[in-house]
Amino acid sequence: MDKIVDFQNTEIAFASKSNTELTRARLLFEILKNKQLVNFSNKLLQWALALKLPVEWIIKATVFKHFCGGVSLEQCAPLVRKLNESGVYAILDHSVEGQDSEEQFDQNTRLIQEEIRNAASNDGVAFAVFKPTSIGRLETFELLTKDPTAESLEFNRIKERYFSIGETAKTLNQRIMIDGEESWMQASADELALALMERFNQEEVIIYNTLQMYLADSYERLEAWIERAKSQNFKLGVKFVRGAYMEKERAYAKKMRIPSAVCVSKEATDELFDKGVALAFEYPERVSIFLGTHNEKSTEKAAQLALKTYGVVNHPNVWFGQLQGMSDQITYNLSHVKASVAKLIPYGPVKEVLPYLVRRAEENTSIAGQTGRELKLLRTEQKRRSS
């Protein structure tokens, strides 16, 4: 079978990057390769920030510049325009984590609604997005995950926030994705997401929920979601990812003396990811798909399935997405074959996006291959330009 996407084409992958930008990216990944250095720098920077030492500029000039869009929605505008010029959409994500006051949750709800309005007024911004724990405490989701019948005023307020966000999205006909987080709080968040779909995904898919395929029971979850969408007659939006909280999941399982919720191996995760995506493609009338992945094999397989199912790669039911600063060979070569593809761009004050940046730094050291892949491609392109 002919391949749809040529991930080796670095000329297309980096066409929008100047020589200086290439060199800067290469330098950053050379540093990220060093696990000990990354761990040490993470600790040092967090300590320095806690002591209010003026170190923000170091973060801003390095990882923040590479992986983020700016400190505010407005600051992301030039990057969004640049991506759009190459046929790539943007998803702007106000990356806040670890907050715990009702005022902050209400404020974040208003901010998410502002993001929805911003996305709705800009054709180049494909989705709005939010994290469950940006509008409610993790412990509250956890309580309702363990006991779905528990009475909780806090959870009622979370529910109200979900529905007011859904209402805004539906009124403006703006698609929105809900992130996946820790397994021990996820079931109650999934319940709310499905309730939103039931209300707002009647004709079109406005709400997408994330399914982390590294969870050993993810396939069964997907089957249950599809059954529910069929029986309650709504459309299902699924954002497929592998899952970003592996270390946390392991630590939690160890602490609770329970088996980890995550698959036993990378191979098992890969298999579940592709199997889940294939199942979703069996319901073209019912299920819309967003593939959040930097995995070339899974991307090619999904592109093949899109072609087989819909006759085209760029059907409105099929989206691809990568994180800003990673896997340009996937993003730009997908855009080259006219697939719908977006970069997820976190933004916000440096301190607020720090947990996200630490995850990216750790991911780029801990995932065998990711940094190596980025470096290899950057080197290939530099060589091509100089020859």
Which residues form the interface with ligand FAD (CB under 6 A)? 179-180, 210, 212, 214, 241-246, 262-263, 265-266, 269, 292-295, 321-323, 344, 367, 370
Nearer CB in complex with ligand FAD: 136/180? 180
- The number of beta carbons lying within 10 Å of the beta carbon of residue 258 is 10
Cβ at position 206, least distance to ligand FAD in Å? 17
Nearer CB in complex with ligand FAD: 161/360? 360
Query: Which position's Cβ is nearest ligand FAD?
Result: 292
Cβ at position 371, least distance to ligand FAD in Å? 11
Nearer CB in complex with ligand FAD: 44/278? 278
Spatial CA neighbour of 99 closest among 89, 87, 85, 109: 109
Nearer CB in complex with ligand FAD: 128/344? 344
For residues 3 and 301, give the distance between their C-alpha atoms in angstroms, rounded to a whole number.
Answer: 9
Spatial CA neighbour of 176 closest among 148, 219, 230, 134: 134
Cβ at position 292, least distance to ligand FAD in Å? 3
Cα dist from 381 to 32, 232, 235, 326, whole Å: 19, 51, 42, 15
Cβ at position 325, least distance to ligand FAD in Å? 11
Cβ at position 171, least distance to ligand FAD in Å? 24
Cβ at position 149, least distance to ligand FAD in Å? 27
- Of how many residues is the chain composed? 387
Cβ at position 384, least distance to ligand FAD in Å? 25
What stretches of the chain adopt beta strand conformation (E)?
Answer: 89-94, 125-130, 176-178, 207-212, 236-241, 287-292, 318-323, 341-347
Nearer CB in complex with ligand FAD: 198/296? 296
Nearer CB in complex with ligand FAD: 56/271? 271
Tokens of 217: 């029971």
Residue 349 CB-half CA count within 13 A: 4
Tokens of 120: 């709705």
For residues 206 and 246, give the distance between their C-alpha atoms in angstroms, rounded to a whole number.
Answer: 29
For residues 258 and 250, give the distance between their C-alpha atoms in angstroms, rounded to a whole number.
Answer: 10
Residue type at 278 in one-letter notation: A
Q: What is the largest CA-CA distance in the chain?
A: 67
Nearer CB in complex with ligand FAD: 108/232? 108
